[in-house]
Amino acid sequence: MDVNGKVVLLTGGSAGIGRELARKLKAKGAEVILTGRDAARLEAMRSEGFAVLAADLSNAEGVDALVAALGERDIDILINNAGQGVAHDFREGAPDPDAADACIYANLNAPIRLTAALLPRLRARPEAAIVNVTSGLAIAPRAGSPVYCATKAALRSYTLALRAQLAGERVLVVEALPPVVDTQMTADRPKGKMPPQECARQILAALEGGRSEANVGLTKVLRAVYSVSPALARAVMIRY
């Protein structure tokens, strides 16, 4: 897919992987509308020439407000990148169920709701794409992040089914599976993190190449291990 001239809606585009994706898409000639929750970060991206929309995607009202703010404008590419983690480890204390609900909505319900709202206009374009950013943890979970892992595994299943439904249509469905990336969410990890610029580069390369999956960095290794022995992949990742 040639992204030059395409209109892209990129959620979670003011920091981390999303910010680097936005910059790379813009450099390729795409018009990027990005969302985020932090006003200062959004203003910084506006100063770089991006169209920005404040959006809280952890609830239905926030998603619907975003769709309303878009109006009737054409969208060629929807990138469901926004996500959040949540502390949910019974070994460390009682988790907050409300925080878990917000994580589930932002990571799973919001992409589903946005896809349902925007698919008619994507189908109307000569060439379109939906990119869902999941995680290597969608393949095999780690014990310390059960809710986050569950949302990414569920979004992976949704993406696989959506791709089957849209087979033969002009809407490419891409799943991006990053490894541990150097973002605010992984600030407590001292090492072993991929730079977000490289992660964004690999995701964009998959989109431009028309590939259905972008197994980024070490996720390629995890996919290879899983193909040989799912049990081994799960045993390794559960302690990760």
Residues serving a catalytic function are 148
DSSP E strand stretches across the chain: 7-10, 31-36, 51-54, 77-80, 128-133, 171-177, 213-215
The C-alpha angle with vertex 47 and arms to 53 and 65, in degrees rounded to 5, equals: 5
Contact 54, 38 (CB under 8 A): no
Supply the DSSP symbol for 47: H
Task: Please tell me the number of Cα atoms within 13 Å of 17 on its side-chain side.
Answer: 30
Tokens of 37: 């929750």
